[in-house]
Structure 1
């Protein structure tokens, strides 16, 4: 049955069939969230890049619309963004109320930036006859334009990935672009190339402040190998980005899991939301699924949290109210080397609130299938680290699909844990999303149990709850 295949995600967007990767053109317009994405309409591998298209009313349930932008004489359609040109700054629209403008990379003899516009809420697109709007003959990697309106300087600002650095451009009309500055050559990109940048202005929790955040996806050399997303906090004056971090500082990973990449934000929203590609370039082409290949992460609401003078990215998973049932237990104590077990479904949200009086410094949860497979998360306070074990299920399709995924707890004692379990993934949000880890799994069975365990001293849990979730396809 459609959308019911063995490992088909039930809580995450996937196309009906064929390959997808980076989210593109994210924009909210007239009651719809638009999700465009890299799409191969002809097969299950990374080739023939078009923009696919889906829309949502709630960032959770999606309707697929098919191809939005197709290749032409300038090349295939690589990643980019879209904006609501509400004041018709481009002059491309007959109405003063404007419409949608997409800014994307044409990948041909070289990578160049082009635009297209839509007057019917993104259903059909007209490519600008003067494309490319930013030509290029010199830089090999010159792609993934992310555009937003900078209110302070009253101009459109573009961040563009250029191999080992980011370039900034400005425009009054989305057509005529002026180079502003560059950032990042002083930061080591190791073996990776910088991709899919974004420039965000986010509120700092528990304050009236907002700060600028520059997002960079790097392929490869992520914290667990392969592709990943990191970020810089700092200031932006309409021309230059000035980071708080120095090149000697440890990089801040937005998601230290193995399978979160190319994340970018929606334009034209009051709060800031983003979504990422839930895969890793090390093995994306061989993950054991069909007739689709790859999924998007859950959408997430973004903010900042200040800790010891440093700013941490905070991510809150967006899940619509579609629960089958909710179960909750209060005041649970788990003794060392003991386990509490609960029955859950293989599409569920799990929440734990750890007591402030709990003495356990090493504890965890695991998701167990009806075939005895266990996908385990271990929290180790003394090491300021977590480990997610995915050493069961189908793992032999790639030597780069690691059995253990590790990450930092950012110096925080874990008081809250949220896990979103789907047919082929687990998204982990620790401390309300200050530590996030997204990881694919391919169980042979179906998850049926949540187990909580303590390794050393007793673990005191104020509240254990889970919600078994309906499929978004029903």
Structure 2
């Protein structure tokens, strides 16, 4: 088990059956809880439950029984969880534990409404609130994915809710009674598809005392490379309304890859960390994995950075060094010249590659996972100022017409990269997390090399490290 073809070895995936969006992310007493959209009876999307897994380090996961099942009000769609420390809800029954409250969408036939459930034993057992739903549907078809947090300065719980192609905000003193506050987004950002899975968080701007609010919104379809994607807005929130700093036409993508969606942050954490579903609705039901479908991204730390007069969302992977085998390669200086390709053997597709750019005269630098007949190209194009991930010849690509792709991300400068490879996925972090691409691929071969190639000039790297990563499955 957990050794099946394509199974990622240090990312969370369910033992079996279908999974999509992360839900109810909450940290409590040393445990990171990850709930998720789950269909326990099939490997394709179906009646939604909340699956449940916990971790002490965000790397090793223990799968727990299904937390929430569909009922007479409908399926259990996406939502969030909080620790109600002050028992504002009155749902606490334990002297030893704070009450954990899940806020989720009940999805009935053409009717979505918001409900809650609660646990007094660290999320092990759940009781649905007798007064559900706590927010009735106001006549909107897509009315879902509540993300809730305690807003200290206004002294109330705030809910961000996806409503068609805008976000509505609600407030509550107790998680049970909710009042509409405001709406944002009709005229802002991308509107190529329905808005989903919002999150509203406050982050520090790197190397300043400044803090800004970030509104995260997943959108499907409408991504820059097709299908599912996460966009975000930078601005301010006063407890009632969100005000965006950027022009209405400005679009900011969190990840230009095809396979990062529905990402939200853990609540009750001092350090902001989020995780996303590594798939795309264009082909999620067809990916060639068995007996499970879908996997979560590496958890990523979040902050903001001013770059070219813009405030950008920065993502860096959690520290994986405790999973390193002995470094396979450490190179203080590596120069790649057009006349000679550098090749490094990979024992398996579980590696973390890091390098800093010292000098770059090459018009194009490619980093390729190379098999005998298949390859995954990553191309850093200095002339076109973009990065391309080419998976058209990366192994099994025939399961969906949407899967073989060359995906592009703008890149105005190139100073470093971190590449995480895990069996059937890559996560590429460029310029210390300023630009990110996440992509699935399904290799058919057993033996791979990592090939470094330059065109029209040489490129020199420093601090090149390649670390093999241990499996986190027992």
Task: Please indicate, yes or no, whether the TM-score normalized by the shorter chain is above 0.5.
Answer: yes
Identify which range, 224-233 or 94-103, moves more after superposition: 94-103
Q: Summarize deviations over 1:290-347 as a string: whole Å, max 9, x none.
A: 1100100110000011012211111011243111121201211111243111122311
Cα distance between partner residues in 2 of 1:338 and 1:464? 18
Partner of 1:69: 68
| Residue of structure 2 equivalent to 1:366 | 368
Partner of 2:344: 342
- Which position in structure 2 is the counterpart of 1:329? 331
The aligned runs of 1:193-232 (5 Å cut-off) are 193-232=194-233
Does residue 389 (structure 1) correspond to residue 390 (structure 2)? The answer is: yes
Contact kept? 1:337, 1:456, Cα under 8 Å: no
User: Counterparts of 2:448 and 2:326 in 1: how far apart (Å)?
Assistant: 15
- Hey, what does 2:4 align to over in structure 1? 5
Aligned: 1:289 with 2:292: no
Aligned to 2:181: 180
CA distance in 1, matches of 2:461, 2:189: 42
Deviations 1:53-102, CA, capped at 9 Å, x for gaps? 00011111111112000011100100000001111111100357632100
Give the secondary-structure state (helix, strand or coil) at the position aligned to 1:295: coil
Shift of 1:448: 2.8
Give the match for residue 268 of structure 1: 268
Q: Report deviation, 1:220.
A: 0.2
Offset at residue 189 of structure 1 (A):
4.6
TM-score, scaled to structure 2 = 0.96
Counterpart of 2:420 in structure 1 is 420
Separation of aligned partners in 2, 1:190 and 1:210 = 27
- The superposition leaves residues 117-165 of structure 1 with CA deviations (integer Å, 9 ceiling, x where unpaired) of 1011111101000000001150000000000111111111000000110
Give the corresponding residue for 1:460: 460
- 1:449 — aligned with what? 449
| Cα distance, 1:222 vs structure 2 | 0.3
Alignment match, 1:377: 378
Q: CA RMSD in A?
A: 1.3
Alignment of 1:143-154 (within 5 A): 143-154=144-155
Q: Which moved more, 1:459-468 or 1:446-455?
A: 446-455
Question: Aligned residue for 2:410?
Answer: 408
Q: Choose 455-464 or 253-262, whichever is displaced more.
A: 455-464
Q: Is the Cα–Cα contact under 8 Å of residues 162 and 168 in structure 2 kept in the other structure? A: yes
8 Å Cα contact 1:368-1:374 kept in structure 2: yes
CA distance, structure 1, for counterparts of residue 447 and residue 440 of structure 2: 14
1:52 — aligned with what?
A: 51
Cα distance between partner residues in 2 of 1:446 and 1:145: 43
**SS of the residue 1:206 aligns to:** coil
Partner-residue secondary structure (3-state), 1:19 = strand
Task: Tell me, in whole angstroms, the C-alpha distance in 1 between the residues paired with 2:422 and 2:308.
Answer: 35
CA distance in 2, matches of 1:66, 1:361: 53
Structure 2 gaps of 5+ residues are: none
Contact 2:77 2:107 in 1 (8 A): yes
1:42 maps to what in 2?
41
Deviation of the 1:103 alpha carbon:
0.2
3-state SS of paired residue (2:360): coil
TM-score by length of 1: 0.96
**Aligned match of 2:80:** 81
Runs of 4+ in 1 over 6 A off after TM superposition: none
Q: Does residue 124 of the first structure (1) align with residue 125 of the second (2)?
A: yes
Provide the C-alpha distance between the structure 2 equivalents of 1:106 and 1:446, rounded to a whole number of angstroms. 44
Gaps of 5+ in 1: none
User: What is the DSSP-based 3-state SS (H/G/I as helix, E as strand, rest coil) of the residue aligned with 1:296?
Assistant: coil
The whole-number CA distance in structure 2 between the counterparts of 1:246 and 1:70 is: 42
CA distance in 2, matches of 1:456, 1:88: 65
Q: 3-state SS of the aligned residue for 2:148? A: strand
Residues 94, 120 of structure 2: 8 Å contact kept: no
Measure, in 1, the Cα distance between the counterparts of 2:169 and 2:138.
Answer: 18
Q: Distance in 2 between matches of 1:402 and 1:233?
A: 33
8 Å contact from structure 2 (residues 189, 249) kept in 1: no
**Quick one: distance in 1 between partners of 2:159 and 2:376?**
41
CA positional deviation for 1:382 = 2.5
* Residues 389-428 of structure 1: per-residue CA shift (max 9 Å, x gap): 111201111111132111112x3x2111111101111110
- Structure-1 residue corresponding to 2:32: 33
Q: Do 1:167 and 1:183's aligned partners in 2 also have CA atoms closer than 8 Å?
A: yes
Q: Is the 8 A contact 1:378 1:386 kept in 2?
A: yes
